[in-house]
Chains A and B, each alone.
Chain A
């Protein structure tokens, strides 16, 4: 099974679980879900960092410990959901029991396939596709949508932005960087339609001259949560052969010195869609029976 397929299965497993439990609205409460399985949950002391979560078993009793040193409720709920991923996903018993006590660093930062599966389970659990899509369609593309969705799902800005890029029909690119260097980039399908696109790679520098690069040069502002916005040419960020304006919105994510950038466009990817729709309209027109 390919890795992208396994990750999709992990997200779908979470969504299927919600369906089984009759949970159809946002926000999803992972603590209540754990309680329904009699899983004891306990926060670690705030003063202690270490691992973001642990799933533990003793006989038939299960428990989850999660880190509270990051005050974000979104991070804590994601950590608990990640551990629930290990609990609910098939095959994780082999991995977890063979490596002994299970510890996690939730947040899409690992290359371990089991950890990634648990992250994707958590994303599917807290941001299930159907209600998430419905909610995002109420907003114009951009950073404000990420914030609105994060508030609705009680999830962190970064986790929400990744899910947003995955599910939005608009052209979206989400870039997270630290100290002017790119950590990762996720693009929506519409953004991927741009020909000869440059894939932003981990470890490469932010494009020079962009508003985000200027913000990155002011670490104090990043830590203070400053936001910048301007119009950019998509080629400055993603290369390619298409000149198109995109909205570039960036915000400092606080103490860790990270910046979240959302590039969005209402136009990119729509031309093909419009043509397809026009073709379809034409086809329907030609084949519709008329009672004259």
Chain B
């Protein structure tokens, strides 16, 4: 059976690639992301799955986007190029959908402001 890899399968590979691209050892990245080095080792080995919180901390420490770590874009620098939550808003019904759309637009603005500021 040909199952699509899960986001955490993609994450473990992308995390290693991004860390090596920045030329960090696991310990250095751990220091920057304020988490134990063993956690990074577990994430890369796939023996532990990340939370969104870890995902975000690592993306910030590596100065890349969570989209890259999740395999949504192939360019580590490219932000907001295909947000899965936004794409699947179609599954929501009625005004929840409108509310989610407006909210995501606001989050997108926040993201781009932060990118410009940094």
Q: What residues of chain A have their CB less than 8 Å away from a CB belonging to chain B?
A: 37, 40, 42, 44-45, 48, 50-51, 54-63, 65, 86-94, 96-103
Contacts and interface: CB of A to CB of B under 8 A. Distances in A.
B24 interface: no
A93 B85 contact: no
B80 A101 contact: no
A107 B28 CA distance: 41
A40 B113 CA distance: 14
Contacts of A48: 95-96, 99
Given A48-B99, A56-B85, A58-B85, A94 B7 contact: yes
Contact of B85 (A51, A92, A101): A101
B15 interface: no
Interface in B4-49: 6-8, 11, 48-49
19 contacts: A40-B110, A45-B99, A56-B104, A57-B85, A58-B110, A59-B67, A59-B79, A60-B59, A63-B104, A63-B106, A87-B52, A88-B51, A88-B53, A93-B7, A93-B50, A93-B51, A94-B7, A97-B7, A97-B85
Contact of B110 (A61, A87, A97): A61
Interface in B77-106: 79-80, 83-89, 91-96, 99-100, 103-104, 106
Given A91-B8, A94-B7, A58 B51 contact: no
Contacts of B53: 37, 87-88
B85 A50 contact: no
A58 B83 contact: yes
Given A59-B65, A97-B84, 13 more contacts: A57-B83, A59-B67, A62-B56, A88-B53, A90-B49, A90-B50, A91-B49, A93-B7, A98-B7, A99-B88, A100-B89, A100-B91, A101-B88
B96 A50 contact: yes
Q: Which 6 A-B pairs have the closest CB atoms?
A: A100-B88, A58-B107, A59-B111, A91-B49, A59-B80, A50-B96
